[in-house]
Structure 1
Amino acid sequence: MSLVDIGVNLTHAAFDADRQQVIDQAIAAGVRTMILTGTTVEGSQEAQRLASQYVGTLYSTAGVHPHDVRHCDQKTIFRLQELAAQPGVVAIGECGLDFNRDYSPRPEQEQWFEAQLQLACELKLPLFLHERDAHQRFMEILKPYRNQLSAAVVHCFTGNGEELKTYLDWDLHIGITGWICDERRGLHLRELIRLIPLNRLMLETDAPYLTPRTLRPKPKGGRNEPAFLPHVLQTVAGAIARPAEEVAQATTATAKRFFKLSN
């Protein structure tokens, strides 16, 4: 099998001691393509630099997460635009709204979400989106730009059926993480995932976060890794009653098409 992890925070400090080994283990597990998530300007630059060392295996996004937009300034969009022109940068984001934790004031979240939407439209790059407890406002801001966007994926979808239907009606892609393996809060996803066409479904770990709770043996320290993506695949395949190989092939094809990957 050949899998694409569309969201991995590989520049996170949790990987500082063994990053090369983590990459090697992911490739050995069949995760041959990884998209590194940018969540700040500096973090996006770091992700691009790392990805440039593994051409054809690692790619990156360029964006500012809603948690971090409080640090944005008049140079932010220009810096993201410059970065997006670099080799291996395949999407704008992670951007969006997070009204669950409100680490940044909501008006600032909305302002910088819209600014990154405009940038994605201008550059004709897909969007890597974050939405938590902000669905209605998220869709209101997205609506004027949807027809101008090349594509967009709702990363780490954990919402309800009505929200999923809206995303699919708007021709958005859906990213599924190890949240689906969580018996406390992810069981509803095992029902909802049956509604997602395979040409709109992509898989991700969001490592080092969201370690699948059903993973055995449990990883030391609880750190998630891209090598664990096959476990998410198996859970997804079981939920939709399809062979894992079929789901792997379909989600990989969807991811490569979405991010315009040639490998």
Structure 2
Amino acid sequence: MELIDIGCNLAHDSFDEDRERVLADARAAGVVQIVVTGASEDGSLKAVELARTRPGELFATAGVHPHLASDYSAETESVLAELHKDDTVVAVGECGLDYFRDFSPRPAQRRAFERQLELAVACAKPVFLHQRDAHADFLAILREFRPQLSGAVVHCFTDTRQAMLDYLALDCHIGITGWICDERRGHHLKEFVGEIPADRLMIETDAPYLKPRNLRPKARTHRNEPQWLAWIAGTVAACRGVSPPKLAAQTSACARALFNLPAAPSR
């Protein structure tokens, strides 16, 4: 069973002491390729640097999260544009809107989002999207740009069935994380994850965040790791009534198509 983690914050400093062990455990669990999330100017530089160390196995996104939209400048855009000339960078983002915390003013979030969508159009790469409590504005902006985009994935989807249908209507992919394994917050996803077309579904850990709460045996660490993508895959497969190997094959095919990934390196 070969899995692709389409969203892992592997450049996060919580992995600095044991990143090689984390990658070895991921490979042992069947995770053959990982897209390392870039969510700030500095974070994108680190994600790309890390991806370059393992060609064909690690890839990167480059963008600015809506929490940091106030920091999005012409200089930042220039850095991102340069990064997107690198073949290891497979998507623009993480970008979008987050009205749940409003760490950046909403007008600044919308400007940064639009600028990054324009960048994605210019470099002909898909977008890796974040949306929380901002569906109406997010959908309106995305709808305007979608015809010009090569592709889009709404990462770490946690919203309603109607929101999911809205994104599918725009020919977007949906990324499912360990949120679906959380009996407190993610139970609603189990009710409609089976409605996502097989060619629009992808899976991700969003590590070090969102460790699956139903993980067995329980891990002592609070940090999520890419090795547990297999557990998320099993949960999603059960909800969809398919085998984990079939779910793995379908989601990996989607990831390779959207991000233009090569076949995984032989072990």
What's the TM-score bracket when you normalise by the shorter of the two chains?
over 0.9
Instruction: Quote the residue 2:121 is aligned against.
Output: 121
Counterpart-to-counterpart distance in 2, 1:126 and 1:259: 7
AA in 2 matched with 1:140: A
Instruction: Quote the residue 1:7 is aligned against.
Output: 7
For residues 156-235 of structure 1, the aligned pairs below 5 Å read 156-235=156-235
Deviation at 1:217, TM superposition (A): 2.4
1:41-89 alpha-carbon deviations (Å, 9 max, x no partner)? 1110110001100001000001000011111222111110001111300
Deviation at 1:220, TM superposition (A): 2.3
3-state SS of 1:253 partner: helix
Instruction: Quote the residue 2:77 is aligned against.
Output: 77
1:46 and 2:14 matched = no
Instruction: Quote the residue 2:134 is aligned against.
Output: 134
Counterpart-to-counterpart distance in 2, 1:80 and 1:172: 23
Contact 1:8 1:37 (8 Å CA) reproduced: yes
Instruction: Quote the residue 1:258 is aligned against.
Output: 258
Instruction: Quote the residue 2:23 is aligned against.
Output: 23
Contact 1:9 1:36 (8 Å CA) reproduced: yes
1:103 and 2:103 matched = yes
AA in 2 matched with 1:186: G
Counterpart-to-counterpart distance in 2, 1:93 and 1:255: 15
Deviation at 1:251, TM superposition (A): 0.4
3-state SS of 1:60 partner: strand
Deviation at 1:142, TM superposition (A): 1.3
Counterpart-to-counterpart distance in 2, 1:141 and 1:169: 14
Counterpart-to-counterpart distance in 2, 1:9 and 1:218: 22
Contact 1:11 1:43 (8 Å CA) reproduced: yes
AA in 1 matched with 2:202: M
TM-score, length of structure 1 as denominator length: 0.99
1:165-193 alpha-carbon deviations (Å, 9 max, x no partner)? 10111100000000000001101101110
RMSD: 0.7
Instruction: Quote the residue 1:146 is aligned against.
Output: 146
Deviation at 1:22, TM superposition (A): 0.4
Structure 2: 5+ residue runs without aligned partners? none
Instruction: Quote the residue 1:237 is aligned against.
Output: 237
TM-score, length of structure 2 as denominator length: 0.97
Counterpart-to-counterpart distance in 2, 1:180 and 1:79: 35
Q: Percent identity?
A: 51
> Size of the alignment, in residue pairs?
263
